Amino acid sequence: MCGIVGYIGNSKASPILINGLLKLEYRGYDSAGIATIENNNISVLKNKGRVKEIQNMKEINYLESNIGIAHTRWATHGKPSRENAHPHLDNSKTFAVVHNGIIENHEELTTFLKNAGYNFLSETDTEVIPNLIHYYYSKEENNSKDRFVNAVRKAILDLKGSYAIEVLSSLESDRIIVARKDSPLVIGINGDEKYIASDIPAILEYTNNIYILNDGDLVEITNKAMTFYDENFKIIEKTPELITWDAKAADKNGYEDFMLKEIYEQPTSIRETIGTRLRPNEKCDFSEINISKEYLSGISRIYIVACGTAMYAGLASKAIFERLTSIPVEVDISSEFRYREPLIDENTLIIFISQSGETADTIAALKNAKAHGSKTIAVSNVIGSSITREADFTVYTHAGPEIAVASTKAYTSQITVLALLALHFAEILGSNEKELINNLKNEILELPSKASIVLENTELLKAFAKIIYNEKDLFFIGRGTDYAVSLEASLKLKEISYIHSEAYQSGELKHGPIALIEDDVTVVGFITDRRLVDKSVSNLQEVITRGAKTLLITNQDVSQDVFPNIVNIPKVNHLLSPILSVIPLQLLAYYVSKEKGLDVDKPRNLAKSVTVE
């Protein structure tokens, strides 16, 4: 989705802005632009297409200023075009604005401004903002020192919807004003240098000291100072957070694609996510949440709510929660949960999972849950992200920045942290399943090294990708947690290889989908549950009999005579197996996408964080 970068300091702004936009390319976009102030005039370079096109414009060489704003746009109102790209100017070309989010009342504001004599050049909802700022600026006292900030404040009071904005003015060329509501924005600081971004990775190479803005915050930034205002326009003090992500983690580090790098980072991201929460022979340590035995014993249900891959991580974790706590768990999609009037109250605990922490539907579902009195836990990978500020408690995955649009290491870290949370709940409740709990803990500690073993075994997957890359339909089947991972495997393949696929519970095949199995259809099966081997093998044999070719991911003893394509993964309890069994399928999706010559990291139509409904 849209990305924002800004800079004010002692260096030339344009290379820093372009560099930041390149770092945000992973979010998905269709046009880009920058604005700087040159000789008291605003210069805008923008176009449809990639950031490289702005970088290659000859005009960029003439931009000397040390202040600027920049944007990558993912079209919502109006097609991708130069006119619709940001920054947008007001009619007098005095104010330039970049904006993430959606202005829901833009039609009403457009009518108001047209009546006041303003014209509109684009089809965007954003163009009302610079014109509104101009409207209020012209009504402020001429020599008021707060004229600019007052005008921005008045303009944002008129906006309904979500926004993160940066504003430049040619009349006050030493400052940038930024504001946010329901769309992320951060400011990094390194001495006199200030870096603004919608996402931390865009500025991580310049500084680790980052101010995370809250909803309603407005900040006036000059070379020498920053003035923070809260939602009531009261001046507030803020302290920066030290972000421990390494800037290199946001680079490809020798890998051909971010996705491949992130797949190979999983032994580390799982280890980091376990961190100090689990030590041999000790109880799980979740000092970040404060949940009592009394509260847990009283809850009637746990919901896990999320979108996409994060929701599938919830599905893969349902079994371990139910097995260890005997509390029923329901997993739901945020966009459904928020509108379906779920039966929740103060006796419901709701876990919201979001890698980015900025997914609009998940944030709305969380607010809805709180309004019903439910306790909420956020599981997120981004420090200070919106869901972490809304939820009662936050549990971080420590996967490091995930840049590729297709989520990989976040998924395995999410299941890891949820498994630990389930164990923690079991310990709080005083479960008498001591042996199971101890075994699972030992198995979790072994996951990083077992993930490394899975990552060594790629030859068959590469060869299989060469066989199937031109296919139109695939099936993924499994039972229990193997079904949960089938859903994620199917999503991964769809996203980055554009091959249609479906995931089915193996036992459901006979109830309809087996009618689609004919010669040479590919069926990928997962078998990691010792109790269900025979039944799952029979299901796969049924498709082989009907002509299907199969790929089997298993840690059980299954005959190579029946299944010629077997990827063996290390043994692990089926309650944890998705953390390992998904890895071969992440790799398969990756290799298929490469065979097809596609852009693995930036699949068409997709964005990394979905900040609109």
Active site residues: 2, 608
Within 481-500, the residues that bind ligand F6R by CB under 6 A are 491, 495
Nearer to ligand F6R, 27 or 71 (CB): 27
Pick from 310, 418, 444, 527: which binds ligand F6R (CB under 6 A)?
A: 310
Nearer to ligand F6R, 177 or 406 (CB): 406
Strands (E), 355-484: 375-380, 393-396, 473-478
Pick from 13, 156, 200, 307: which binds ligand F6R (CB under 6 A)?
A: 307
- How far is Cα 231 from Cα 159, in angstroms, rounded to an integer? 13
Using CB under 6 A as the binding rule, whether residue 363 contacts ligand F6R is answered as no
Evaluate whether 449 touches 267 at the Cβ level (below 8 Å): yes
Nearer to ligand F6R, 500 or 510 (CB): 500
Task: Tell which phi-psi region holds residue 480, choosing left (phi > 0), alpha (psi between -120 and 50) or beta.
Answer: left
Using CB under 6 A as the binding rule, whether residue 406 contacts ligand F6R is answered as yes
Cβ 219 to ligand F6R shortest distance, Å: 25
What H or E segment, with its residue span, contains residue 492?
helix 481-497
Within 227-266, the residues that bind ligand F6R by CB under 6 A are none
- How far is Cα 47 from Cα 74, in angstroms, rounded to an integer? 12
**Nearest Cα residue to 257 out of 601, 602, 498, 26:** 601
Evaluate whether 170 touches 37 at the Cβ level (below 8 Å): yes
Binding segment (CB under 6 A) for ligand F6R, from list 180-188, 192-200, 302-310, 567-575: 302-310
Using CB under 6 A as the binding rule, whether residue 397 contacts ligand F6R is answered as no
Runs of H (alpha helix) within 236-292? 258-264, 266-274
Strands of the sheet with 329-333, listed across from one edge = 329-333, 301-306, 348-354, 375-380, 393-396
Using CB under 6 A as the binding rule, whether residue 407 contacts ligand F6R is answered as yes
Nearer to ligand F6R, 36 or 354 (CB): 354
**DSSP readout, 535-548?**
HHHHHHHHHHHTT-
Cβ 382 to ligand F6R shortest distance, Å: 8
Beta-ladder partners of 354: 380
Cβ 422 to ligand F6R shortest distance, Å: 19
Cβ 309 to ligand F6R shortest distance, Å: 3
Helix, strand counts (H, E) of the chain: 18, 25
Cβ 246 to ligand F6R shortest distance, Å: 21
**DSSP at 107:** H
Pick from 356, 388, 486, 573: which binds ligand F6R (CB under 6 A)?
A: 356
Pick from 31, 539, 586, 609: which binds ligand F6R (CB under 6 A)?
A: 609
Cβ 184 to ligand F6R shortest distance, Å: 11
Q: Does residue 87 have a cis peptide bond before it, meaning omega lies within 30 degrees of 0?
A: yes
Residue 557 class from Cβ within 10 Å (0-12 exposed, 13-18 middle, 19+ buried)?
A: exposed
Pick from 308, 314, 401, 448: which binds ligand F6R (CB under 6 A)?
A: 308
Nearer to ligand F6R, 20 or 184 (CB): 184
- Read off the tokens for 522: 């590919």
Binding segment (CB under 6 A) for ligand F6R, from list 230-238, 254-262, 353-361, 366-374: 353-361
What H or E segment, with its residue span, contains residue 306?
strand 301-306
Nearer to ligand F6R, 308 or 384 (CB): 308
Nearer to ligand F6R, 169 or 609 (CB): 609
Residue 80 CB contacts under 8 Å (≥ 6 apart), including other chains: 30, 31, 48, 73
Using Cβ positions, the residue closest to ligand F6R within the complex turns out to be 308
Binding segment (CB under 6 A) for ligand F6R, from list 63-71, 75-83, 134-142, 348-356: 348-356
Binding segment (CB under 6 A) for ligand F6R, from list 52-60, 304-312, 338-346, 367-375: 304-312
Q: Give the angle 371-374-377 at the CA atoms, nearest 5°.
A: 110
Using CB under 6 A as the binding rule, whether residue 388 contacts ligand F6R is answered as no
- The contact set with ligand F6R (CB under 6 A) reads 307-310, 354-356, 359, 362, 406-407, 491, 495, 609-610
